[in-house]
Structure 1
Amino acid sequence: MAVTSNKQGAAMQLCMALPENFRRQDFLAFHRRDADQLSEHVTEDSLLKGVVWQGQPACLSLFFTERNVSVTLDADTAWSADGQRTLEAWVGHMLGLTQPVAHFEQRFAADPVVGSLLQRQAGLRVPQSASAFEAVAWAIIGQQISVSVAIAVRRKLIQHASLLHASGLYCHPDAQTVAGMDEEQLKALGFSRSKAVALLGVARNEELVALLAQPVATAEQAEAVSSRLLAVKGIGPWTVSYALLRGFGWLDGSLHGDVAVRRNLQQLLQRPEKLSDKETAEWLRAFSPWRALMAAHLWAQQSSAGY
């Protein structure tokens, strides 16, 4: 991945090469979910996203060409010597550039059930949230409600946090900001009591927040995050698998409890009856250690944005 960089005032700029089969519309669709564009402004070839960087509001700008992405992080911060490397790794993670999608597609290219699906959706990567905490928050908000309702609740949370960058974009609150809220405030934003308890349980757990700031690259690390999250009241297996997928790029979580995954698998298998959680888990097991990536391909049958 070729990178060039320069500093301009308080901004760091990079230019990164993209893989030949990079599906930028998948990435942009994921960040286009909220039509109000309060925190993310998306066009056909760009994303401007409000983020919290080193505790302060910042703006991440990504401008895509066919084979490159120009990156600017406008942040009121003193850049360390490894600032370029940190920004490069973060953006590469968000874009899913380190995900072994070619290996996965090659492994199952001849599969009679999914081979043609993978060929049609070649290069599919799982776009990442800007932080693992943002992914966890979205997973909690999205429990057992429609995407449109979840988007509205997320928007209210972002507005309530009032982390506004000079660009005019609001930033998704970090754990420290959410920890300062209380249950009644969250309920007023549309959270159920159980979801408010869960989100605060994560945000106020300093050890868990520190763990969420670390990468997950092994099954042992994924298990450590899973066990800590499952210990929080109101968080179950679906929330954990989704957060691991969207926050860490961990591709082996089993999303068998996801309604869209079960529905689209039923369509793929041409089954007249709905599939149970158990049947879906059993089917996904054959794709380990890429079960969640297979689930993302099932999502993409319906929408490139996924959930």
Structure 2
Amino acid sequence: MSIHLVSAAHPLDTAAILSSLAAHAVPGAERVDRTAGTAERLLPIDGVNHHVALKVLPHGIEVDVAAEPNNPSKPHLESICAVVRQWFDLDAHHEAIGDTLGDDPILGQLLNTRPWLGVVSNPHPFELAIVTVLGQQVSLAAARTFSGRLVTAMNSLDAQAGGAHSPSGLVAFPRPEAIRDAPTEWLRAAIGITGARIRTVQAVAGAFADGLSFDAEPQQLRADLLSLPGIGPWTVEYLALRGFHDPDAFPASDLVLRRALRDFGVAAAEVSAVALAWRPFRAYATVHLWNHALPPEA
């Protein structure tokens, strides 16, 4: 066992972090306990899946890496902590964000309520891409259901496809090659999605298998993603926000975002123009508006 505290440069909005983790957790691959403030999953680092347990604290994330035969060396532990730092936006520039958004008639009041709200991303770019495709035009709950079915189906098809089990029984998200090469109709039926959607899932898997990386130049990455069947601007901007960490990413057509803005008298046709005042931090504006749209208990 190796425990390390990854400190944040600012206080953390622990309730918002745990809410986001729970809302996006893939059944079978992640476990989140909002009451205990904990989460666990298998985290792929340099081709090895490490069981990682996290505790969300007011000033950082406690990382517990399970002892295994291939227990991470110090370099791997450093890599895991670096992923966690980016995953939870621990170096967010809140002072600059506040300077840009604080006087805005909409965002100013939201920042006053939740000044430390950050962008909780996903530590596994391929997983995020597939889950996002499965979440197109459906609720978050439906996206989690589809994602859980995918993980279950792939793990049953080939134990090697999903990687190792964690000590707690969780499994790793399937590899791109495994999803790309799975029988299309079998996988479509197992997940319960349309033929068009499974074609997009396997096209995205094929692109990652061929070397697509979120570390690529952002505009080229956007173009590469848009060239795939079934990938449009909303998907690309959502991935930019939660995947390749663009602080100005803005999914202008997002329905939850638009619903939140209606509360402030902004019509759908005005969203993009109003958001120009939030540059270069439109991603943070989006997260604040998503948070505003949540029910009070979320």
Could you say if the C-alpha distance between residues 297 and 17 of structure 1 is closer, same or farther in structure 2, counting changes exceeding 3 Å? same
Per-residue deviation at 1:183? 2.0
Q: Is the 8 A contact 2:30 2:39 kept in 1?
A: yes
Equivalents in 1 of 2:69, 2:211: separation in Å? 23
Deviations 1:77-130 (A, max 9, x none): 464563233122100011111332331112222223321111112111111112
Which residue matches 2:229?
233
Which residue matches 1:64?
56
Deviations 1:56-76 (A, max 9, x none): 443211123333432123365
The alignment's TM-score, normalised by the length of structure 2, stands at 0.86
Deviations 1:191-235 (A, max 9, x none): 2222211121121125764423x2x6xxxx211110110010110
Deviations 1:132-165 (A, max 9, x none): 1122112111111122221110110111222332
Decide which of 260, 266, 269 is 1:264's aligned counterpart: 260
Structure 2 residue identity aligned to 1:203: A
Question: Are positions 1:42 and 2:32 aligned together?
Answer: yes
Q: Gaps (5+ residues) in structure 1?
A: 1-7
Structure 1 residue identity aligned to 2:139: S
Q: Is the 8 A contact 2:42 2:52 kept in 1?
A: yes
Equivalents in 2 of 1:284, 1:246: separation in Å? 18
Equivalents in 1 of 2:55, 2:181: separation in Å? 34
Q: Which runs of 4+ in 1 moved over 6 A?
A: none
Which residue matches 2:158?
none
Which residue matches 1:88?
81
Equivalents in 1 of 2:192, 2:72: separation in Å? 38
Secondary structure in 2 matching 1:211:
coil
Equivalents in 1 of 2:91, 2:69: separation in Å? 28
Secondary structure in 1 matching 2:64:
strand
Which residue matches 1:127?
120
Question: Are positions 1:295 and 2:286 aligned together?
Answer: yes
Structure 1 residue identity aligned to 2:44: V
1:18-37 maps to which residues of 2 (within 5 A)? 18-33=8-23, 37=27
Q: Is the 8 A contact 1:198 1:235 kept in 2?
A: yes
RMSD over aligned CA atoms reads 2.5
Structure 2 residue identity aligned to 1:154: S
Which residue matches 1:190?
192
Q: Is the 8 A contact 1:58 1:171 kept in 2?
A: no
Q: Is the 8 A contact 1:133 1:247 kept in 2?
A: no
Equivalents in 1 of 2:45, 2:180: separation in Å? 17
Equivalents in 1 of 2:228, 2:16: separation in Å? 32
Equivalents in 2 of 1:293, 1:107: separation in Å? 11
Could you say if the C-alpha distance between residues 299 and 197 of structure 1 is closer, same or farther in structure 2, counting changes exceeding 3 Å? same
Could you say if the C-alpha distance between residues 129 and 76 of structure 1 is closer, same or farther in structure 2, counting changes exceeding 3 Å? farther
Structure 1 residue identity aligned to 2:183: D
Per-residue deviation at 1:301? 0.2
Equivalents in 2 of 1:36, 1:113: separation in Å? 33
Equivalents in 2 of 1:27, 1:304: separation in Å? 15
Q: How many positions carry a matched residue from both structures? A: 284
Which residue matches 1:106?
99
Could you say if the C-alpha distance between residues 186 and 227 of structure 1 is closer, same or farther in structure 2, counting changes exceeding 3 Å? same
Equivalents in 2 of 1:304, 1:246: separation in Å? 22
Could you say if the C-alpha distance between residues 52 and 36 of structure 1 is closer, same or farther in structure 2, counting changes exceeding 3 Å? closer
Q: Gaps (5+ residues) in structure 2?
A: 156-161
Equivalents in 2 of 1:248, 1:282: separation in Å? 24
Q: Is the 8 A contact 2:128 2:243 kept in 1?
A: yes
Could you say if the C-alpha distance between residues 233 and 157 of structure 1 is closer, same or farther in structure 2, counting changes exceeding 3 Å? same
The alignment's TM-score, normalised by the length of structure 1, stands at 0.83
Equivalents in 1 of 2:254, 2:115: separation in Å? 23
Equivalents in 2 of 1:35, 1:249: separation in Å? 19
Deviations 1:244-269 (A, max 9, x none): 11112212122111001011001023
Percent of aligned positions with the same letter in both sequences?
A: 22
Could you say if the C-alpha distance between residues 79 and 201 of structure 1 is closer, same or farther in structure 2, counting changes exceeding 3 Å? same
Which residue matches 2:131?
138
